[in-house]
């Protein structure tokens, strides 16, 4: 087993891990909430093409206008690599949810809603600030709303779909344009004993399966700022008259752009949940009262 270790600014951790995904066996970021940068470790079962990997790293840095990170390549004993992957994935208390990996021996706190999810081939272990902010926002919404029809758009690992399913004990449609994400979501729902509530499928904001299930009382979309802006009309069209939308995957400096796109569709901002440099937005139709 070979590893490549480098550091990236908090705002770009997800961009680097996603950009390297196809070249590595596994990749993880070691979370330090007090640090400006996070240490990222990529794992290779066989020796990588070092020129290709370092070139990809330099290209990703160029795309976000930062200097190319300095990477260290090391050998790791085959028997130890899972321990290294998981050591940074400590359990998290996020609102009403307790998110943990299968490697954790910790017992969930009394009253918390447990979600078991491991770092895998689909985004969403709870350790990225966007996922964490979404679960906190979901806990907030649940204080005043009990949705019956729910959608997780861009479901990744299915962590948000499972959160909705476990919190409200209602059916959730989980969609992603990546078939692997749909597969991982279905498997995670089985592991978390909520498969009867979670329907995983392949599709985006314009898919027939989404439109057949509309309107939704609660829509969650943890994607990226630009796609969220472009999909504002389609997402809002799928929302019930008194429905709520939770959007994330955007930096705090991108809030105004996303809010403007949804305000044009008749929605208003109820609350912004900020974590590090990232935000989750809770939005509702203009004419409706606060989360009623």
More confidently predicted of 132 and 34: 132
Q: Quote the DSSP letter at residue 171.
A: -
CA 22, CA 11: separation in Å to the nearest integer? 21
pLDDT band at 73 (very low <50, low <70, confident <90, very high): very high
Q: Would you state the structure tokens that stand for residue 259, as one six-digit string? A: 């809010």
pLDDT greater than 90 at residue 254: yes
- Whether this prediction's pTM lies above 0.75 is answered by no
Mean pLDDT of 199-207: 93
Cα 230–Cα 235–Cα 240 angle in degrees, nearest 5 = 155
pLDDT greater than 90 at residue 101: no
219-243 per-position pLDDT tens digit: 999 988 889 999 999 999 999 999 9
Q: Is 93 helix (H, G, I), strand (E, B) or coil?
A: strand
pLDDT greater than 60 at residue 82: no
Which domains are present in the chain?
A: 2-86 (3.30.70.100), 124-285 (3.40.50.150)
pLDDT of residue 138: 96
pLDDT greater than 70 at residue 47: yes
pLDDT greater than 80 at residue 253: yes
pLDDT greater than 60 at residue 188: yes
Quote the mean pLDDT of the chain. 87
266-279 per-position pLDDT tens digit: 999 999 999 888 89
pLDDT of residue 121: 45
Q: Is 82 helix (H, G, I), strand (E, B) or coil?
A: helix
pLDDT of residue 285: 87
Mean pLDDT of 118-147: 79
Rg over CA atoms, the chain: 19
pLDDT of residue 31: 62
pLDDT of residue 81: 47
Ramachandran area for residue 244 (φ above 0: left; ψ -120 to 50: alpha; else beta): beta
CB neighbour burial string for 101-136, b if at least 16 within 10 angstroms, e if fewer? beebeeebeeeebbbbbbbbebbbbbbbbbbbbbbb
pLDDT of residue 292: 44
Mean pLDDT of 79-83: 50
pLDDT greater than 70 at residue 79: no
Q: Which helix (H) or strand (E) holds 103?
A: none
pLDDT greater than 90 at residue 185: yes
CB atoms within 10 A of CB 226: 13
pLDDT of residue 83: 52
CA 176, CA 203: separation in Å to the nearest integer? 5
206-220 per-position pLDDT tens digit: 999 999 999 999 999
CA 183, CA 251: separation in Å to the nearest integer? 28
DSSP 223-260: S-HHHHHHTHHHHHHTEEEEEEEEEEEEEGGGHHHHHH
């Amino acid at each position: 087993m070979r590893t490549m270790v480098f550091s990236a600014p908090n705002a770009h951790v997800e961009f680097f891990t996603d950009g390297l995904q196809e070249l590595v066996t596994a990749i993880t970021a070691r979370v330090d909430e007090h640090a400006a940068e996070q240490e990222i470790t990529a794992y290779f079962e066989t020796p990588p093409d070092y020129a290709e990997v370092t070139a990809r790293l330099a290209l990703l840095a160029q795309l976000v206008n930062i200097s190319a990170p300095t990477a260290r390549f090391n050998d790791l004993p085959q028997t130890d690599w899972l321990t290294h992957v998981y050591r940074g994935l400590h359990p998290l208390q996020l609102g009403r949810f307790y998110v943990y990996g299968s490697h954790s021996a910790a017992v969930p706190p009394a009253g918390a809603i447990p979600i078991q999810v491991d770092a895998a081939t689909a985004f969403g272990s709870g350790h990225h600030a966007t996922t964490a902010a979404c679960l906190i926002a979901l806990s907030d919404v649940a204080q005043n709303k009990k949705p019956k029809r729910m959608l997780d758009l861009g479901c990744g690992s299915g962590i948000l779909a499972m959160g909705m399913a476990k919190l409200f004990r209602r059916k959730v449609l989980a969609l992603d344009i990546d078939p692997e994400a749909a597969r991982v979501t279905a498997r995670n729902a089985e592991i978390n004993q909520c498969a009867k509530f979670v329907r995983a499928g392949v599709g985006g904001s314009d898919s027939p399966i989404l439109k057949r299930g509309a309107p939704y009382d609660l829509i969650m979309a943890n994607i990226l700022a630009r796609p969220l802006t472009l999909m504002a009309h389609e997402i809002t069209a799928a929302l019930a008259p008194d429905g709520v939308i939770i959007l994330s995957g955007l930096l705090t400096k991108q809030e105004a752009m996303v809010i403007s796109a949804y305000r044009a569709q008749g929605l208003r901002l109820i609350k912004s949940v900020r974590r590090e440099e990232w935000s989750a937005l809770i939005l509702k139709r203009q004419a409706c009262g606060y989360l009623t």
